[in-house]
Structure 1
């Protein structure tokens, strides 16, 4: 009886591996050479896996590598497609394409979260998990296939469907950065007064009062200091929109 159970378990595992391989092939557009790279790209550190040398097995190092590959390929693309752009322009445009918001969108569109192996329920992951595993996938492609195949994947999955230079020129990634840049340019003082605000629902929230030239111009509340500051900055931006030159973005 135990022998039969072992055979069944082995067959089930083999079937899962075959499905994973097939799904990867559809996403990648080619057959993986070493499926282990892709399995690692979706392994969460909560599993505490290690190799024979005691090195951790999870997607975090691949995420680092994928981030570098994306930056490299996007930089080369912008260099060729925007010959009039100076270093500052190219840097800002690259930041917009590889922003955390955009990478999360890419990961969600491919539904990569369904492949993650973790002891933590996926419902408990933050929003950035989508972009993290997308970067890890890019890192796995580079290790498995090399630079040219990685560049082709980024061109197919990122640049062709999502990158429109003229549209990106007007896209604001961080209202806080934009507002600070404008204040510094105009020699205006600014201050973010952050405080905990739990009075209404009991939920831990943070309130922000944004002052420019010692006058409160916007208020906001959110679940983190960073989000509250960004929301207040966005409201201040719209209040001063006619006076802020968005063409410098």
Structure 2
């Protein structure tokens, strides 16, 4: 109970009632409240239990990720009896992609519940998906598989899992482009360099070449984003050839 009282004391008055907001998200009153507080505690709080173990949401992310994967896999197995292992794996990856989990976390407003010493404006986009996974982990450990499964169906599968739409969804244009190049024995190269523009934030530019010919260029605030942006532009240039890999 000391953990709960210490966390609640750390929350500012404008945060409102943590468990009241949480009940709106869950649709029920939590049983093990400490699990849900942990599910929204950021590592910046530097909290530890009596044994010296860190108290934050990262371990619950691991559990939530496993539960999401299991429930989604079971659903796809039942709904797509003709799908082989490769197809089912690819479809599950589309449902639990980082981009999609971030959208789910945003839709539920989970960042409003986060307990942190860092201003919310300083968090990266992945905080939303991380919190969603940790919440799923807390639900499983608190209420068991059936309640966890129901939460995933209500918030992921029923509103978002459309098999036909998923088949045409691209998770990563860079991964798709690399897969296509390797299959077709095309050489490819991402020439990334730091941009010396006048932007306040550092930018990176990239030239994407296929078979030693530049096919697209892009610019973004990170190397990863620039490469993905260039890959997406290249995808539309070779869409007919690459679509069969989606």
TM-score by length of 1: 0.91
Give the one of 170, 173, 186 matched to 2:171.
173
Identify the residue that residue 5 of structure 2 maps to in structure 1.
none
How many Å apart are 1:230 and its aligned residue? 0.4
Residues in 2 aligned to 1:191 and 1:17: alpha-carbon distance in whole angstroms:
48
Q: Which runs of 5+ in 2 are unaligned?
A: 1-7
How many Å apart are 1:226 and its aligned residue? 0.6
Give the one of 4, 27, 30 matched to 1:29.
27
Q: Which runs of 5+ in 1 are unaligned?
A: 1-9
Aligned residues: 238
Secondary structure class of the residue paired with 2:219: strand
Identify the residue that residue 44 of structure 1 maps to in structure 2.
42
Give the one of 65, 68, 71 matched to 1:67.
65
Deviations 1:207-248 (A, max 9, x none): 11111011011111111111010000011111111222x233
Identify the residue that residue 196 of structure 2 maps to in structure 1.
198
Identify the residue that residue 108 of structure 2 maps to in structure 1.
110
Secondary structure class of the residue paired with 2:34: helix
More off after superposition, 138-147 vs 199-208: 199-208
Give the one of 209, 217, 220 matched to 1:219.
217
Residues in 2 aligned to 1:121 and 1:18: alpha-carbon distance in whole angstroms:
17
CA contact (8 A) 1:107 1:133 kept: yes
Deviations 1:9-57 (A, max 9, x none): x99x8x9999322222221122211111101111111010111111111
How many Å apart are 1:179 and its aligned residue? 0.8
Secondary structure class of the residue paired with 1:36: helix
CA contact (8 A) 1:170 1:247 kept: no
CA contact (8 A) 1:195 1:206 kept: yes
More off after superposition, 17-26 vs 214-223: 17-26
CA contact (8 A) 2:15 2:112 kept: no
Greater Rg by CA? 1
Question: Equivalences for 1:1-249 in 2 at 5 Å?
Answer: 19-201=17-199, 203-244=201-242, 246-249=243-246
CA contact (8 A) 1:169 1:247 kept: no
Secondary structure class of the residue paired with 1:220: strand
Q: What value does the CA root-mean-square deviation take over the aligned residues? A: 2.1
Residues in 1 aligned to 2:113 and 2:102: alpha-carbon distance in whole angstroms:
15
CA contact (8 A) 2:176 2:245 kept: no
Secondary structure class of the residue paired with 1:208: strand
Q: 1:16 to 1:230 in 2, by over 3 A?
A: closer
Identify the residue that residue 4 of structure 1 maps to in structure 2.
none
How many Å apart are 1:202 and its aligned residue? 5.4
Deviations 1:125-164 (A, max 9, x none): 0000000000000000011011111111101111001111
TM-score by length of 2: 0.92
CA contact (8 A) 2:202 2:221 kept: yes
